[in-house]
Amino acid sequence: MTKVDFYILPSADPSARLDFACKLSEKAWRMGHRIYLHCSDAAQRDDLDARLWRFKGESFVPHGLAESEPDGLIVLGIGEDPGPHSDLLVNLDLKVPAFAQRFARVAEVVVEDPVIRQAARESFRFYREQGYPLQDHRLQRF
């Protein structure tokens, strides 16, 4: 069954979610995981794409867009089809994607912004009602 982790960041800035997604993706990739970053829209995906290129000057995090590199190690996508991915889903949308259950792990990234926190509460409730194992990580720094 899919394991769901909620990463709760000590920031009210919605862009902190993207910075953390970069860090989490790099760590997971170095551990041998394949990552699908599910974005809410094209603007968020473009922002995340730019952040992945510049987030760490001394390292390279290989990634691509779902349309051009569906089989990539780290893929940024929008819409209802994560392609062949089923390892780690980093959900940056405000709702649980219909395909979440096909992944071994799901990471939900939460900040103190009221809209994002409310969406996270609804997602948590949904996952709990479906019986998913849940874990929350309250980060002091990231």
User: Cα 142 to the chain's mean position, in Å?
Assistant: 15
Measured distance CA(117)–CA(42) in Å, rounded: 22
Flag the least confident range among 11-15, 56-60, 108-112.
56-60
**Cα-based distances in Å from 83 to 36, 72, 93:** 9, 10, 17
pTM: 0.95
Q: What is the pLDDT of residues 17-64, one digit of tens each?
A: 999 999 999 999 999 999 999 999 999 999 999 999 987 777 678 899
The CATH classification number of 3-138 equals 3.40.50.10110
Residues near 103 by beta carbon (within 8 Å), at least 6 away in sequence: 2, 36, 82, 85, 86, 87, 88, 89
Where are the chain's structural domains?
3-138
42-54 helix and 15-30 helix, angle to the nearest 10 degrees: 60
- Answer for the pair 104, 86: CB distance below 8 angstroms, yes or no: yes
